[in-house]
Amino acid sequence: MFTTLAAVLVALALGHVAPAAAASLRRFDGFRRWLGWLDARGGKAWQGPAGVALALLPPLLLMALLAWLLRGVLFGLPSLLLGVAVLAWCWGPRDLDRDIEAIIDADDAATRQAAVRNLQAAGGSLREDIPSLVEATVLNALRRWFAVLFWFLLLGPVGALGYRLLALMAESPMRARVPVEPLALAQRLLGWIEWPVAQLMAFSMALVGNFDTAWKAWRQAHGERLAGNIGFLGAVARASVNAELREDAHDYTEAGLLPVWQRLPDLRDAMSLVWRMLLLWLAILALLVIAGWVT
């Protein structure tokens, strides 16, 4: 737990202090070359569903071997450093709140379109309407932050790396190197491993926002179905943002004040929700760390 908490703080600090360096470290050029090699020499196995295993198992087995070799060495310090390094590496690849600010601050259509493309580095629609941007914010929060964190908590460095490589294979530009059958399977697998993360994010959104609104949106979007579909997350985010903006407007009216004008308030509120969710997760982690020290 302490490793996870330290790694998240390092990843966030790296993205803010040196965003260009962080993005360059998270390019995964080695995995891109590996997919290219499989595309050229993988044969029939690469063309079928087994292609997903061919792509993912070698790097994951290497990571598992490294984690096993470092286990128990020097009081666990190398394992701690490995966990911090892997989570910081798999985080992102870009800094989410910087991408949101770039969209908000864009002064012309071309700049905004470029900023939207950067926001969608982890996949999603390129539409620029407000509901799509709100949904894109939480989807990218899931793929850049929360899914990596969740699978790191469950499976350690292997879990974080496995999620990141599968997401790259299924949704990033690297998918152009993947044949049709393994690509379809990778996308289905990605939906299933993101589903529990999206459920936790929806519940977190309810806790840090308007619970009744989030619950109603989750039910209406059929979030209770075990379907490997995370579409309900966008519905919960849109409803939560709309509810908070209505509450803010009501508070201003009650106080006899005029609302303060801001660019894209929906997008600002969506990013605020994401930060509050992350702080909630980190607070729970911190409590678990403290409880472990006490006991």
Helix H, strand E, coil C: the string for 2-40 is: HHHHHHHHHHHHHHHHCHHHHHHHCCCHHHHHHHHHHHH
Domain layout of the chain by residue ranges: 2-294
User: What pLDDT shows up at residue 58?
Assistant: 95
Structure tokens at 111: 């700049």
pLDDT higher than threshold 50 for residue 22: yes
Question: Which residues 6+ apart lie within 8 Å of 39 measured at CB?
Answer: 46, 177, 178, 179
What confidence tier does 117 reach under pLDDT thresholds 50, 70, 90? confident
Q: Calculate the average pLDDT of the chain.
A: 84
In three-state secondary structure terms, 227 is: coil
Percentage of the chain modeled with pLDDT above 90: 37
What confidence tier does 105 reach under pLDDT thresholds 50, 70, 90? confident
pLDDT higher than threshold 90 for residue 206: yes
Instruction: Report the alpha-carbon distance of residue 244 to residue 242 in Å, rounded.
Output: 6
pLDDT higher than threshold 50 for residue 175: yes
In three-state secondary structure terms, 93 is: coil
What confidence tier does 261 reach under pLDDT thresholds 50, 70, 90? very low
